[in-house]
Amino acid sequence: MKKLAFVLVMSLLAISCMSGPSIPRDAVVLGEQEVDFTSDHDLIRVGAYEGFFKSLFFVVERNDIQIYNLIVDYGNGQKESFATRLSFDKGSRSRSLVLEGGQRRIETVAFTYQTVGSWSGGKANVVVYGVR
């Protein structure tokens, strides 16, 4: 019986490790972008989504990348720059980036990236989440 319980616990632990990054319940997908190799700049338009957010974070899928020169454009025309270099292994997420001034409506999220994973890994997918 102890052996069966041990195997069950180890199996559940292995499954939980493969499930990817945890996403808070109050997180909303603001947009996503497939990114190619080389350094490049992308803009995710949040669009007509109505809502206010206090922070955001990134999840990267399928390949390893670095994100830097992050600029968030708010609904009132203000911009906020984050002086950070975020390094991701595929299947990981960034820390939460707290937005200046409390809850804000986000128009766009612009960033520069560089794929640092293997060429055989293909393109990466960047998903931006807003947290209320």
pLDDT by residue (tens digit) across 75-107?
999 999 998 888 988 889 999 999 999 889 999
Identity of the amino acid at 28: V
Q: Please, are residues 25 and 102 in contact by the beta-carbon 8 Å criterion?
A: no
At the top level of CATH, the class of 24-131 is mainly beta
Residue whose entry in the numeric block shows the structure tokens 């203000």: 78
The two three-digit tokens of residue 108, written as one number: 């766009």
pLDDT in tens, 30-66: 999 988 766 788 999 986 667 899 999 999 998 888 9
Q: Is the pTM of this model over 0.75?
A: yes
**Residue 33: strand, helix, or coil:** strand
Q: How deeply is 8 buried, as exposed, middle or buried, from its count of CB atoms within 10 A (0-12, 13-18, 19+)? A: exposed
Q: Compute the distance between CA of residue 46 and CA of residue 118 in angstroms, rounded to an integer.
A: 29
Q: How far is CA 44 from CA 2, 10, 25, in A?
A: 51, 40, 22
